[in-house]
Every structure is written in structure tokens, then in C-alpha cells.
Structure 1
Amino acid sequence: MSHSRFESIGAYLPSNIVSTEELISRLAEPPSFDLERITGVRERRVHDTRPDSYEDSFALAIKAAQDCLSRSQYAAADLDVIISTSITRSRNGTRMYMEPSFASSIGTQLGADKAITFDISNACAGMLTGTYILDRMIRSGVVRNGMVVSGEAITPIADTAVNEISEKYDLQFASLSVGDSGCAIVLDRAVDDADKIHYIELMTASEHSHLCLGMPSDKTQGVALYTDNRKMHNEDRFVLWTDTQRNYLQARGRTFADEKFDYIIHHQFGAAALPWLAAIGEREFGVPMPPDLRVLQKYGNTSTTSHFIVLHDQLSDQKLPSGSKLLMIPAASGVVTGFLSTTISSLKV
């Protein structure tokens, strides 16, 4: 079977910037800890809520998809499949849509009239899950190319948290770290080893599924996210990644050191947790971890788009040398983990 590659990437980040200091100032009861230091989030982008220019999930996704196609060799009409992976599905303002599918609506708006379209939902592992499915479709020969796209107008959970948090420690504190964004990637068949997705695997450990739940608020009409960070960010959860990747490599007669990764991109969920995660990786694999790339400080946790917002940011700033080998590690409600290995040479922003 042939491999796939990342052919083009696009992103959209709203122009509105809200600082963590500003969010904290709106709380009735400030936290008993330094939220900015622990999360690493100094500021985040927030979608425009003015009636004449409202940026809902659909608008964010369309702008990212158009940006992606602007540097792709493919026009929208050339796409064989579009996969939408948004958690938030707001369109026409705040109204949430399940049908018609977001992917179908995005395809129609772009002019991808021949594309297979469908939505998937896998929490913050959404875009990596879409990549997993599209990679398999390309490798099996079912399609030649396709787009994975997500628009996340997710900061309403931060508004709910600001309105409802009344204690020093609250399960909604993680909601204060999120930011809005849109991101899209086009995949097609790899033509050489310089641009190639070597492998991607995902796994779910459902025994942890209750630790991070998005749902209607139990106090108001807002949408809320309840995250038990004390149990989410611990060794039992972190070794799910290392155990899974080590078993995968051992079955193929390889080690982590053999992979020679240049950089690692973790889900952007907290600056304090990432060094610990690196230490666990070093202990479990027996080698130093590659440098981790992050954009937490200026964009926050952008949920499904986080890995690719990091990649887009690094490419935009020309900080990623040609031929870099990257490891992407998801961390999502469910709990979902896994790994994606790719070499990137010609991908540009």
C-alpha cells in the first residue's frame, strides 16, 4: 500500500485577543493558583460575535479551508473526500447543527461537488482522527486525496466558566484555557520519503472517559466543559501514549531511538504538564525526548485543531527545517491517545 502525505495546510485565527489576566479579572472567586503559569496561556483568539460579522464554527472552517486550497495543487472540485471534525457545530450564529453534515455544507460552499463528505467527532483528537481515516482511505486506494477541516468556536465554554465558577478549585477551570480557530489540511499520495506520513495509530482508554465531559451547563443555559485536571494529568494517563507506541514499535522490531524524531507536538493542554510528560517519555523509552513545539502562550488550547495550528505557526515563521521528522501525540476526552509520525519537506505557508 502507498503512503499519504500532508500536501497543503491552512488556518484561520480570529483577530480578537483576550488575555488570561482579563478572564481572571471577571471571576467572582479568583483561583487559588496561577492559572497563566500552570496552563502557559497568556492570551487566546476569540471569534467575532458582532451580528454583522459573526464568526461561528462554519465560518472559521470555511476560512481555513479556503486558505488551505490557496496553496494546494488541487482545486475544491478535485477533492475526493472532505471530513469535518469540529466539536462545535455552530452556524448562522449560535445555532448548533447536526444535519446536514458540516462536511457536506463545507463542500457545497467550497464547490467540491464530487467529494464524499462526512463528519466525525472524537473530542480534541478530531483532526488527527480525520487524518487517520483519510490516510487509510488513500493508502487502500479508495480515494486519491481529501481534506480534513475543523472550525472551533469553543470559547463560549470560557464564558460559561466565568459566569459560574464560584470556588477556588472548579472543574470548569480548564475551560479558561481554550481559544477559537479554524484549520484544514489536504492529504494525497506520497511520492517520496521527503514528504510522508509514516504511520498513525489511535487508541481509547474508556475507563478515563468521565474525567472530561462537555455538555449543557448544570446551572445555566450555557454550554460547559467539566474537567478533573487532578486525575487527567497524572502518570496513569500519560503512560497510555508511551505504552501504546512502544508496543507498536516493538512489534516491528524498532525502538523509539530508531525513529530519530526532530520535534514532538503534543496536544496543547497545559504548559506545566508537558515537561512531566517529556520526563515520562524519556524514562519509558530510555532516550531524551525531542524538543516540543507549542503555541499555548498566544493561542491557548484550540481543541481539535491544536496540532495543526502548531504546525501552521512553525511553517509560517519558517522555524521548521525542510526534512523535519515530527511526532504528533493526541490527548483527548475519551480518553484518546496515540501517535502520528511524518516527515515534512515541501509543505509551506
Structure 2
Amino acid sequence: MAERRVADDTADVPEDCLMMALSAARECLDRSQYAPGDIDVVISCSISRTTDGRRHHFEPSFAHRIAQELGAAGAIHFDVSNACAGMMTGVYLLDRMIRSGEVRNGLVLSGEHITPIAFTAAREMEDSRDPQFASLSVGDSAAAVIVDRSVDDADVIHDVELMTCSEYSHLCIGMPSDETGDLAMYTNNKMMHAEDRLSLWPTFHRDKLAEDGRQFADEGYDFIVQHQVGSRFVDFMNKVGEGIFEAPMPQSLSVVENFSNTATTSHYLVLHQALAERRIPKGSKILLVPAASGVVTGFLSATVSSLEV
């Protein structure tokens, strides 16, 4: 990791989770065909939940406050918390709501002000074996995406499936620091990144495709986006996938060197940057792979043609 973005929570108007999420939502709406009043659902997926700098906020929900601020007062609104798979979970839920015919569209968003855990780790950890070591690799960000009903094959979500293995939930925990009470994260990196844990995604993905008589090699993925834990993690995940699928991985997209691990927003930050840099040709099929504490894994695949950044 060469760079990270850090929110300014000391400014007269602090850059907190709510402010960043609202900014991302407004930009997303400005680039869409929808006005705020057209949005049927607002889903907020942040792990960190700060307002007014570092004040932690729980009620009313972020989704409620964001919908009101945007002018989407008539929208269904709720928060989702599912570690770094939060936005993927929000899209999963919205996809199912649209497919059921209950809603026409929705806004999924997240603002993550998580760098305080890095500052806590820098003050408290002793060496690279410390359980706070992984906290050093995080950065702040916000992202928002609008999902609506597909009208053709040019822009469509093909699959979105998630799986939770809760027996591993103790391996990564966010909580007040044992020493100072400051915000901290404790991770058992060796156990979290053991090969049997990393094989959960490709095994689950392979088996879900097999239920429909499909194989990974035949899906025609053009790009793959792993969770942005670190460059070595991304490379290792792709290597494990190749072994289990017995097929080469598509081209890997990553921004971890420039933006670090941005939790729930990481996949959508990669997608945004790749589109902005015109690295994704129209009609590309993209595979997003979450890897969240819990442990949560799965896959989302979509064809992208008309997205503009």
C-alpha cells in the first residue's frame, strides 16, 4: 500500500460517515436518470457510523437520515451491517426486491471513516504479530450505486450469492481498545488467511454454478475484483481460485496500492476507478468477490455497458 485517504474529522464541518455517504449519493444521483423522489429504496451499509466527527450514531438509521436529506422521503429505508460485505449485501437484498416486483429501483450506499483504528494500532501495537496489525492497511471512502430493473443483456446482474460461516466470527472483531477504549480492530491474520478459509469462496462459487449445470471457465468473466485487503491477498485469492476452478482467473482489477482497504466500499471503488480510467470496455462481464469478517464470502457477476463515470 502506497497511499490512503483519511477523512478530516477536525474541520468546521467534519468529514464523517454520514457526510461522505451523502456526498457519494448525491454524485450518484446526478449521474443517473433518477431524481431523489424516484428512488424506491435507500439501503445504508456502513460499518463505521460516525456523525459530528467521531460521535457514534445508531438511531434514527443512517438510511432514514440520508433519504430525508436527499429528498427521497417516500423511499423504504433501512440499514444493513455485514462487515466488509455490507454493500454487497445491500445489492443482494435490493436485487431480490426488484426481481420480486416489490420495487423498481434503489440506492445502496456506504460511508466508511475507519482510519481511527489505524491510529489506535499505531499507538498501541508492538510488532507485526500484534492482532491490530491489519488495522494499519485501512482507508476512508464512500460509495453509492443505483440498481434498477434490467431491460436487456447490456447491463444486468447475472448472479449475486452470499454465504456466512459464523464459526469464524471471532477471528476479526471491531471493538473498543483493550488498553485505551479507542476504536480498534483485532484480527487473527494467520487463521483468517489460512488456505481452507480462502478456499470458501471458490468452493461455494463452483458448487452454486454446478447446481445450474454451469462451470466457472464457461462464464466468460472478463475481470475479477477481490476484496482489497492487500495486494498479496488479492494475488493469493486468485491463485487459490485457479486451483479449485481448474481454470485461469480473469484479469484482476485492484486499487489497494492507492486507496488501501476501504471496507464495504472497496469493490465499488475499484469499479469506479476502472470505469473512470476506461479500463473496462463496454459489455464486459465483471466478477466481484467479497471477503468479510464473519466469515462472509460469495460472488456477484454483472455485465456493464452503459455506466459512465
TM bin (shorter chain): over 0.9
Matched, 1:242 2:202: yes
Determine the C-alpha separation between the residues in 2 that align with 1:185 and 1:276: 28
Relative to the length of structure 1, the TM-score reads 0.87
* 1:32-111 → structure 2 map (5 Å cutoff): 41-111=1-71
Query: Deviation per CA, 1:58-85, whole angstroms, max 9, x where unpaired?
Result: 0110010011001110011110000000
Contact 2:45-2:264 within 8 A present in 1 as well: yes
Percent of aligned pairs with the same amino acid = 57
For residue 168 of structure 1, report the CA deviation from its aligned partner.
4.2
- What letter corresponds to residue 267 of structure 2 in structure 1? H
Partner-residue secondary structure (3-state), 2:285: strand
For residue 206 of structure 1, report the CA deviation from its aligned partner.
1.2
Query: Deviation per CA, 1:262-281, whole angstroms, max 9, x where unpaired?
Result: 00000000211222221211
Q: Paired residue for 2:293?
A: 333
Query: Deviation per CA, 1:209-259, whole angstroms, max 9, x where unpaired?
Result: 111100111110211000111111121111110111111111101100110
Determine the C-alpha separation between the residues in 2 that align with 1:77 and 1:291: 38
Match among 91, 107, 125 for residue 165 of structure 1: 125
Partner-residue secondary structure (3-state), 1:82: strand
Contact 2:9-2:54 within 8 A present in 1 as well: no
Q: Paired residue for 2:279?
A: 319
For residue 53 of structure 1, report the CA deviation from its aligned partner.
3.0
Match among 147, 150, 156 for residue 116 of structure 2: 156
For residue 105 of structure 1, report the CA deviation from its aligned partner.
0.2
Determine the C-alpha separation between the residues in 1 that align with 2:283 and 2:305: 4
Q: Paired residue for 1:263?
A: 223
Determine the C-alpha separation between the residues in 1 that align with 2:236 and 2:140: 26
Q: Paired residue for 2:157?
A: 197
Determine the C-alpha separation between the residues in 2 that align with 1:217 and 1:235: 29
Partner-residue secondary structure (3-state), 1:269: coil
Matched, 1:178 2:105: no
Partner-residue secondary structure (3-state), 2:248: coil
Query: Deviation per CA, 1:74-103, whole angstroms, max 9, x where unpaired?
Result: 011110000000001111221111100000
Q: Mean Cα displacement is larger for which, 326-335 or 270-279? A: 270-279
Determine the C-alpha separation between the residues in 1 that align with 2:214 and 2:83: 30
Match among 121, 132, 140 for residue 100 of structure 2: 140
- What letter corresponds to residue 313 of structure 1 in structure 2? Q
Moved over 6 A (4+): none
Contact 2:40-2:103 within 8 A present in 1 as well: yes
* 1:226-241 → structure 2 map (5 Å cutoff): 226-241=186-201
Matched, 1:348 2:273: no
For residue 167 of structure 1, report the CA deviation from its aligned partner.
3.1
Determine the C-alpha separation between the residues in 1 that align with 2:272 and 2:237: 23
Structure 1 segments unaligned to the other structure (5+ residues):
1-40
* 1:3-42 → structure 2 map (5 Å cutoff): 41-42=1-2
Q: Mean Cα displacement is larger for which, 165-174 or 286-295? A: 165-174
Determine the C-alpha separation between the residues in 2 that align with 1:212 and 1:123: 10
RMSD: 0.8
For residue 157 of structure 1, report the CA deviation from its aligned partner.
0.4
Indicate how the Cα distance of structure 1 residues 280 and 48 shifts in structure 2: closer, same or farther if over 3 A, else same: same
Determine the C-alpha separation between the residues in 1 that align with 2:108 and 2:90: 6
- What letter corresponds to residue 225 of structure 2 in structure 1? I
Determine the C-alpha separation between the residues in 2 that align with 1:71 and 1:318: 17
- What letter corresponds to residue 259 of structure 1 in structure 2? E
Paired residues in the alignment total: 309
Matched, 1:116 2:79: no
Determine the C-alpha separation between the residues in 1 that align with 2:223 and 2:295: 24
Determine the C-alpha separation between the residues in 2 that align with 1:348 and 1:138: 22
For residue 309 of structure 1, report the CA deviation from its aligned partner.
0.3
For residue 51 of structure 1, report the CA deviation from its aligned partner.
3.4
Matched, 1:290 2:279: no
Determine the C-alpha separation between the residues in 1 that align with 2:128 and 2:136: 14
For residue 50 of structure 1, report the CA deviation from its aligned partner.
2.5
